[in-house]
C-alpha cells in the first residue's frame, strides 16, 4: 500500500524576477508527521507555505494538500489548515483580538470555543487590544490561537517562535506538543532554528538556494549523516562515488574529518578499500546532521 501524504508537491518552481524562490521542489509529508523544513532566510520556505495555501501561484509544477490541488481547490485546502505566517498582516487591524477570534470562529464548523478560551489564557492574549497595535510577539500569540482553535488536520507554522520571548516560546511548544497528543494533526514547521523543534520532529527537509537538497525521516538522517575521522596516505584522493556524498570536509596533515551521507558500514568499507584508515565514526545530533546539508561542500 502506498504511503498517504498530507502534503505533496511535484516539480514546484517559482521565481521572483530573475531569482528562483523554488526550483523543482518535491515535498513529501506523510499524514500524521511533524515535518521540519529547514533552511536559511531566503531559501524558499515561506514561498512553499504560501503555495500550499494558494496565496502564491507557482510558475511550474503543482501542489496537493490531502490530495486536493491547491491551485484549483484553494478554499477547500485553506479550510483544513491552521497557518502561522512569518509576517503578520494587519488586514484586520481595526478589530480587537476578541472580535477577530469570534470572526474566525464563524468560518470554521469545527471551531472549539472551549479550547479557544484555553488558548487565549495559555498565550496571554488580551482580547480588548486592537490587532493593529500588537507587537510582533503579541501578534504571534494571537496567530497560535487562530491556527489551533479549529483543530485543523494540517498546521503550517512559518518561523513560529519568531518574536516570542523565551518563556512564551517554551509555553508555545509545550502547548503544541499537547495539541498533537490530543488531536490527529500533520505539522509542517519552517524554521532555521531546528533546536527549538527538534523534540517534535520525525521528518526533516532541507531547502538550500530554492532546492530541496535532503528529505528523510529523523532516524534516517541521524543514521546516514555521519562524521568520519580518517588517516590517509600522502597524496590520497577520495573515491569518486564518495565525493558526491560529501557534506563537509577538513584536513590537517594526514588526518581528514569528513561528513558524508550514506550507510556507515558501506561508507567505512569504501574508505578502507581506497586506502584510508578509519579512526573514528561519530553520529551527529539531529540539528548538526540537518545543518550539514547547508554547509559549503568541502569547506573546513
Three-state secondary structure of 182-248: HCCCEEEEEECCHHHCCCCCCEEEEEECCEEEEEEEHHHHHHHEEEEEEECCCCCCCCHHHHCCEEE
Domain end, chosen from 156, 175, 209, is at 209
Q: How deeply is 223 buried, as exposed, middle or buried, from its count of CB atoms within 10 A (0-12, 13-18, 19+)?
A: middle
187 contacts 155 by C-beta, under 8 angstroms: yes
Residue 130 DSSP class: B
pLDDT at position 296 over 70: no
pLDDT at position 246 over 80: no
pLDDT at 1: 40
203 and 255: one domain? no
Cβ count within 10 A of residue 108: 16
What CATH number does the domain containing 158 carry? 3.40.50.300
Q: Is position 297 within any domain? A: no
pLDDT at position 277 over 60: yes
pLDDT at position 258 over 50: yes
Task: Count up the domains in the chain and report the number.
Answer: 2
pLDDT at 105: 96
pLDDT at position 298 over 70: no
pLDDT at position 108 over 80: yes
Q: Is position 175 within any domain? A: yes
57 and 127: one domain? yes
Helix (H/G/I), strand (E/B), else coil: 54: coil
244 and 174: one domain? no
181 and 269: one domain? no
Domain end, chosen from 146, 178, 209, is at 209
Average pLDDT over residues 270-282: 91
Q: Is position 69 within any domain? A: yes
pLDDT at position 229 over 80: yes
The domain in which residue 65 lies consists of 5-209
Q: How deeply is 213 buried, as exposed, middle or buried, from its count of CB atoms within 10 A (0-12, 13-18, 19+)?
A: middle
Distance in angstroms (rounded) separating the CA atoms of residues 154 and 83: 9
43 and 98: one domain? yes
111 and 248: one domain? no
Q: How confident is the model at residue 80 (pLDDT cuts 50, 70, 90)?
A: very high
User: For all residues of the chain together, what is the average pLDDT?
Assistant: 90
Average pLDDT over residues 259-279: 91
257 contacts 170 by C-beta, under 8 angstroms: no
11 and 159: one domain? yes
Q: How confident is the model at residue 90 (pLDDT cuts 50, 70, 90)?
A: low
Q: Which residues contact 105 (CB under 8 A, 6 or more apart)?
A: 111, 113, 116, 149, 150
205 and 231: one domain? no
61 and 171: one domain? yes
- Flag the least confident range among 20-34, 122-136, 222-236: 222-236
* Helix residue ranges, H only, the chain: 45-52, 74-79, 97-105, 113-123, 136-148, 166-182, 218-224, 240-243, 264-273, 286-292
41 and 188: one domain? yes
pLDDT at position 193 over 50: yes
Q: How confident is the model at residue 18 (pLDDT cuts 50, 70, 90)?
A: confident
Average pLDDT over residues 128-150: 95
Cβ count within 10 A of residue 217: 15
Residue with the bigger pLDDT between 111 and 254: it is 111
5-16 and 28-30 beta bridge pairing: antiparallel
* Set of cell numbers at residue 231: 588517516
Give me the residue label for grid cell 487590544.
129
Beta bridge partners of 15: 20
84 and 196: one domain? yes
275 and 246: one domain? yes
pLDDT at 297: 47
Domain end, chosen from 209, 235, 258, is at 209
Amino acid at each position: 500500500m502506498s504511503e498517504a501524504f498530507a502534503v505533496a508537491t511535484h516539480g514546484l518552481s517559482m521565481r521572483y524576477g530573475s531569482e528562483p524562490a523554488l526550483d523543482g521542489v518535491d515535498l513529501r509529508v506523510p499524514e500524521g508527521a511533524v515535518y521540519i523544513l529547514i533552511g536559511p532566510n531566503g531559501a524558499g520556505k515561506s514561498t512553499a507555505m504560501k503555495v500550499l495555501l494558494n496565496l502564491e501561484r507557482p510558475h511550474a509544477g503543482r501542489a496537493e494538500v490531502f490530495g486536493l490541488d491547491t491551485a484549483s481547490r484553494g478554499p477547500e485546502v485553506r479550510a483544513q489548515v491552521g497557518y502561522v505566517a512569518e509576517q503578520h498582516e494587519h488586514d484586520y487591524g481595526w478589530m480587537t483580538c476578541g472580535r477577530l477570534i469570534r470572526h474566525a470562529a464563524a468560518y470554521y464548523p469545527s471551531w472549539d470555543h472551549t479550547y479557544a478560551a484555553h488558548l487565549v489564557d495559555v498565550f496571554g492574549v488580551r482580547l480588548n487590544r486592537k490587532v493593529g497595535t500588537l507587537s510582533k510577539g503579541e501578534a504571534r500569540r494571537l496567530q497560535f490561537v487562530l491556527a489551533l482553535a479549529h483543530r485543523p488536520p494540517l498546521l503550517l507554522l512559518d518561523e513560529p517562535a519568531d518574536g516570542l520571548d523565551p518563556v512564551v516560546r517554551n509555553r508555545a511548544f509545550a502547548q503544541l506538543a499537547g495539541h498533537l497528543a490530543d488531536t490527529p494533526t500533520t505539522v509542517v514547521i519552517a524554521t532555521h532554528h531546528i533546536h527549538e523543534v527538534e523534540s517534535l520532529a520525525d521528518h526533516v527537509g532541507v531547502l538550500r538556494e530554492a532546492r530541496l537538497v535532503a528529505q528523510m525521516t529523523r532516524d534516517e538522517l541521524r543514521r546516514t549523516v555521519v562524521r568520519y575521522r580518517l588517516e590517509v596516505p600522502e597524496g590520497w584522493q577520495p573515491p569518486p562515488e564518495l565525493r558526491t556524498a560529501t557534506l563537509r570536509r577538513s584536513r590537517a596533515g594526514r588526518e581528514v574529518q569528513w561528513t558524508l551521507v550514506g550507510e556507515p558500514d558501506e561508507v567505512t568499507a569504501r574508505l578502507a578499500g581506497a586506502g584510508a584508515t578509519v579512526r573514528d565514526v561519530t553520529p551527529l545530533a539531529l540539528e548538526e546532521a540537518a545543518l550539514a546539508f547547508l554547509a559549503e561542500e568541502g569547506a573546513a
